[in-house]
């Protein structure tokens, strides 16, 4: 019988972020009993005692951990201490507190950057830990890999029905549009939008444009997460992706065309390219009956509408 969300209290860690806010929308649509969440100003998840107090008092049935220090290629390679430390602290505190509060179902979210730089493409879950990582996001990846193993450890040592899932590159409303720390898709939206607004005829972006990336709309991810909590109970992490990728150059053309910027796109090759390719093999989640539905151009268009409406806040 499918899960009855109406009698569940779900704590979404990071509920105001890109992923967390999509989870809240999906849970509300599913008729969830209660959603719990604290903004980082109310609860700093790096603070172990405060995290224990909050989760123990709330006693959720389900925890979805979408709280993390995230960032694009520059932020990740410039601040490795912050990325490793904050993510290790957040995930360890949330999981330990959930264990003490006897949380039944826990979903830990990572990212496709946990896989080796030279993993065979599309990347299967089994390639985890089979080779060196991509240096530009190593700190974040190391923390997330520890998180996956921590979930496994709770299963082994305490028989918990806890799981982890690895989404591909995500985008959608409530993304980070700060050009220093954002990922490529929101950066393109902002760069092309501001160039068009200011009447500039050239935009400079990073790298060669040759790397290939896969993009999944967060609403598709949120849908997958709810299905996994319902149907998936295995120690092995599970990939969540669109199933196809494209060169960054093509992404630039797609975003420019959605935004209506028709000037020149210049590539600053002094900036890093990162992983040459990062396409997830999604056969395992597809076999559970889940398939994404939001096509890239449509997803970029709706995200762009959101960005324009929320320009000041974003």
**280, 122 in Cβ contact below 8 A?**
yes
Residues 159-218 interacting with ligand GDP (rule: CB under 6 A): 169, 182-184, 187, 205-207, 211, 213
- Which of 26, 36, 54, 73 is the binder for ligand GDP (CB under 6 A)? 73
Q: Pattern 89-128, binding to ligand GDP, x per CB under 6 A?
A: ------------------------x---------------
- List 137, 164, 239, 303, residue binding ligand GDP (CB under 6 A): 137
Residue with smaller CB distance to ligand GDP, 62 or 141: 141
Q: Does 241 bind ligand GDP (CB under 6 A)?
A: no
Helices (H), the chain: 18-29, 48-58, 73-78, 80-100, 138-158, 184-197, 218-231, 248-259, 283-287, 296-309
Between β-strands 169-171 and 215-217, what pairing exists: parallel, antiparallel or unpaired? parallel
- Distance from C-alpha of 285 to C-alpha of 241, rounded to nearest angstrom: 9
Site residues for ligand GDP, window 13-72 (CB under 6 A)? 72
Distance, CA of 311 to CA of 309 (rounded, Å): 6
Contact 238, 285 (CB under 8 A): yes
Active site residue 311: no
Which CB, 33 or 131, lies closer to ligand GDP?
131
Catalytic residue, candidates 11, 115, 140, 307: 140
In whole angstroms, give the CA distance from residue 187 to residue 66: 21
Q: Considering the rule CB under 6 A, would residue 307 count as an interface residue with ligand GDP?
A: no
Quote the least distance from Cβ 102 to ligand GDP, whole Å.
36
The nearer residue to ligand GDP, 124 or 271, going by C-beta atoms, is 271
Q: Using CB atoms within 10 A of its CB, is residue 81 exposed (0-12), middle (13-18) or buried (19+)? A: exposed
Site residue total, ligand GDP (CB under 6 A): 20
- Collapse the DSSP code of 70 into the 3-class scheme (helix H, G, I; strand E, B; otherwise coil) and give the result: coil
Binding site residues, ligand GDP, CB under 6 A = 72-73, 113, 137, 169, 182-184, 187, 205-207, 211, 213, 248, 271-275
Catalytic residue numbers, as ranges: 140
């Amino acid at each position: 019988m499918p899960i009855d969300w109406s009698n569940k209290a779900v704590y979404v860690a990071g509920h105001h972020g890109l992923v967390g806010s999509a989870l809240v929308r999906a849970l509300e649509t599913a008729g969830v009993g209660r959603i719990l969440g604290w903004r980082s100003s109310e609860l700093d998840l790096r603070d172990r005692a405060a995290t224990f107090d909050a989760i123990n008092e709330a006693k959720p049935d389900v925890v979805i951990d979408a709280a993390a220090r995230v960032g694009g290629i520059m932020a990740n390679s410039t601040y490795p201490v912050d990325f490793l430390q904050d993510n290790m602290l957040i995930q360890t505190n949330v999981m330990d507190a959930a264990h003490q509060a006897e949380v039944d179902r826990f979903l830990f979210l990572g990212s496709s950057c946990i896989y080796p730089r030279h993993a065979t493409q599309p990347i299967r879950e089994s390639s985890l830990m089979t080779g060196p990582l991509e240096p530009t996001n190593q700190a974040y990846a190391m923390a997330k890999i520890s998180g996956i193993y921590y979930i496994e450890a709770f299963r082994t040592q305490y028989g918990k029905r806890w799981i982890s899932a690895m989404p591909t590159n995500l985008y959608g409303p409530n993304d980070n549009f700060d050009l220093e720390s954002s990922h490529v898709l929101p950066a393109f939206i902002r760069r092309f939008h501001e160039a068009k607004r200011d009447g500039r005829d050239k935009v400079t972006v990073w790298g060669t444009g040759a790397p290939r990336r896969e993009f999944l709309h967060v609403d598709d991810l949120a849908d997958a997460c709810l299905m996994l909590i319902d149907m998936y109970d295995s120690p092995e992490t599970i990939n969540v992706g669109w199933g196809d990728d494209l060169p960054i150059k093509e992404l630039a053309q797609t975003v420019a065309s959605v935004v209506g910027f028709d000037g020149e796109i210049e590539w600053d090759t002094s900036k890093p390219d990162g992983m040459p390719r990062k396409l997830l093999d999604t056969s395992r989640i597809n076999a559970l009956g889940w398939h994404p539905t939001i096509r890239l151009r449509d997803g970029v268009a709706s995200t762009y509408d959101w960005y324009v409406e929320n320009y000041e806040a974003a």
